[in-house]
């Protein structure tokens, strides 16, 4: 009888320990600005802003990627290009959207997701740095077309450093640029900044690649494009 009682007591304590561990895990998934700032100094982490692109452009945390939680097609499309095995530190304005985003990411295979408690509002209250605010004028369609040479093939990359699939395209573009067998001009446009130009050209969400030959558009495509496909179109 004593053995049975001891076994029941052991199982009860084990169950309580498991519950406490889960509670601690839940609590530790949200951290304040000071701890968040320290954590993202690690080069092995990913920082994700789940606000709209407009909010992002008014100021964001350094090195943050962006995917709008209110647009699930965009959010899922961008997040799929992030590394599920690396920690993700995410934030929104005050914490509501980041909570939904964190739940979605955990349910879809991301193993370590941490939220900024209070969002970027809390970050700013602690006088933490933001970047991305700019007064740089937007390129007009006329200025853009005037910059396209009429005597050379030009590849225009519309992307942004905060866009996950754009980041994946960078090594491909760099390799093409260093390929001496292909004669072309590479132009990079910040699609997050030059939104008027994006609208004028009726472009899909970034990244978008457009090829011009003799000053005329001959090809465009949205998304991650294999190097071989770009080479074939540039020739």
Q: Which residues are part of the catalytic machinery?
A: 163, 166
Residue that the structure tokens 């573009």 belong to: 173
Largest CA distance in the chain: 94
Structure-block tokens of residue 107:
């349910």
DSSP assignment of 100-116 equals HHHHHHHHTT-S-EEEE
CA atoms within 13 A on the CB side of 95: 13
Cα separation, 233 vs 235, in Å, equals 6
Cα separation, 227 vs 235, in Å, equals 13
């Amino acid at each position: 009888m004593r053995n049975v009682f001891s076994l029941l007591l052991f199982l009860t304590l084990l169950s309580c320990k498991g519950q406490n561990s889960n509670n601690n895990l839940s609590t530790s998934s949200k951290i304040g600005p000071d701890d968040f700032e320290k954590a993202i100094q690690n080069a092995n982490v990913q920082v994700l802003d789940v606000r709209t692109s407009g909010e992002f452009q008014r100021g964001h945390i350094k090195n943050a990627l962006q995917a709008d939680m209110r647009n699930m097609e965009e959010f899922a499309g961008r997040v799929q290009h992030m590394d599920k095995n690396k920690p993700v530190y995410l934030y929104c304005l005050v914490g509501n959207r980041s909570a939904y985003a964190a739940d979605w990411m955990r349910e879809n295979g991301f193993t370590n997701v941490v939220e900024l408690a209070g969002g970027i509002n809390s970050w700013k209250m602690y006088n933490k740095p933001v970047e991305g605010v700019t007064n740089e004028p937007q390129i007009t369609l006329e200025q853009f077309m005037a910059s396209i040479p009429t005597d050379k093939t030009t590849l225009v990359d519309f992307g942004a450093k905060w866009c996950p699939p754009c980041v994946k395209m960078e090594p491909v573009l760099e390799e093409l640029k260093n390929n001496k067998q292909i004669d072309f001009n590479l132009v990079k446009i910040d699609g997050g900044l030059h939104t008027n130009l994006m609208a004028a050209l009726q472009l899909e969400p970034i990244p978008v690649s457009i090829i011009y030959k003799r000053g005329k558009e001959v090809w465009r495509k949205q998304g991650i494009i294999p190097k071989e496909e770009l080479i074939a179109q540039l020739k």
